[in-house]
Amino acid sequence: MPEILQVQGLETQFRTREGVIHAVNGVSFSLKEGETLGIVGESGCGKSVTVMSMLRLIPSPPGKVTAGKALFQGRDLLTMSDEEIRHIRGAQISMVFQDPMTSFNPVLTIGRQVSEPLEVHMGLNQKQAEDRVAEMLAKVGIPNPKDRLNNYPHQFSGGMRQRVMIAMALVCNPQILIADEPTTALDVTIQAQIVDLVKRLRDELGMAIIWITHDLGVIAGLADRMAVMYGGFIIETAPVRDLYGHPTHPYTIGLLGSLPRMDEAGSRRLVSIDGLPPVLLEKPTYCPFAPRCKYAVERCWHENPPLMQVSPDHYSACWVDTETGRERS
């Protein structure tokens, strides 16, 4: 499959009263057509800022993308004109956000909001747009879609609102869907409904997905490939089975060990990662995970490891081979 998106060396900073926060520090990844990439990490690791930077959605000031490229079908999203990126956002690349409550305009009907991208990007008239919206709402499982067009966001439950948001994101048939923690605010049984829906739509429409989450459970059954972020860096990336089956970065190992699993027979003590995530007031010159790492060696405190290949298609940013505990040569 050809690559549809290539992000190279992306860096984003925020100016705050305390100083400059180095939120994203040189992130590179690519996405193939129809592929689902999971980006995982804890709050503040830079996962949302990465995709927002790529789509030029970072408010500036205080934020600024200071380096990097984001090539979509060969064209750099970061240098094209505002007019050009507007044609791409919401049409070819669209987004679903975490909070279905605050992402809609409360005073406009659902029909009006979901049809807006169609009128803007595809130049459909109101009647055509409404038919397409009703079709899309039916596809995401909203009962009586024609009647619901005139309802307002508050007349939908949380799960239903997230379905509407997905309908809005997919209404122009995008090539990439970016989902930023789309199920975090939902209950587990509703989360299962939404994940099921996204899988079905992916198989039907064939779009590529970037799914951002802090939950290693949700993404396990959904992603083809994973990228784990820490301190504004991607620290490990691999096909999903490889990453869960053979995690190599100490942070990934710790994260998987800290999760209790429902299918475990006995009860073991959870592996906790001592300490706290870094405050990114300086761009780290050494490994950002070193202060919390059991494996850290001298070199980790002097040099920030780049992503290194550990097996075909599996990359890890660590000076130590965690299987043997020895430093990589």
Is 17 a residue that touches another protein (CB under 8 A)? Answer: no
Separation of alpha carbons 120 and 269, rounded Å: 54
Return the residues of window 205-224 that contact another protein according to CB under 8 A. Answer: 214-218, 220-221, 223
Looking at beta carbons only, is 11 or 180 nearer to another protein? Answer: 180
CB atoms within 10 A of CB 18: 8
Q: Which stretch binds another protein (CB under 8 A): 46-54, 63-71, 131-139, 155-163?
A: 155-163
Q: Please report whether residue 231 would count as binding another protein according to CB under 8 A.
A: no
**What are the φ/ψ torsions at residue 255 (nearest 5 degrees)?**
-65, -45
Per-residue interface string for the shown chain with another protein, residues 157-196, x marking contact by CB under 8 A: x-xx--------------------------xxxxxxx-xx
Residue closer to another protein, measured from CB, 121 or 249: 249
281 sits near another protein (criterion: CB under 8 A): no
d(C-alpha 227, C-alpha 40), whole Å:
6
DSSP result, 174-221: -SEEEEESTTTTS-HHHHHHHHHHHHHHHHHH--EEEEEES-HHHHHT
In whole angstroms, how close is the CB of 187 to another protein at the nearest point?
A: 4
Choose which of 263, 309, 312, 323 interacts with another protein (CB under 8 A): 263
Which helix (H) or strand (E) element contains residue 158? helix 158-170
In this structure, the number of other CB atoms found within 10 A of the CB of residue 228 comes to 26
Among 5, 240, 253, 307, binds another protein (CB under 8 A): 240
Smallest distance from the beta carbon of 129 to another protein, in angstroms? 28
Longest dimension (CA), the chain: 67
How far is C-alpha 274 from the chain's CA centre?
26
State which residue, 174 or 277, has the beta carbon closest to another protein: 277
| Of positions 75, 87, 154, 241, contacts another protein by CB under 8 A | 241
Which residues, at least 6 apart from 24, have a Cβ–Cβ distance to it below 8 Å?
Answer: 10, 11, 12, 46, 49, 50, 53, 232
Dihedral, CA of residue 43, residue 48, residue 50 and residue 56, to nearest 10: -140
Q: Is 134 in the site for another protein (CB under 8 A)?
A: no
Task: Give the footprint of another protein on this chain (CB under 8 A).
Answer: 42-43, 157, 159-160, 187-193, 195-196, 214-218, 220-221, 223, 240-241, 244-245, 254-264, 267, 269-274, 276-277
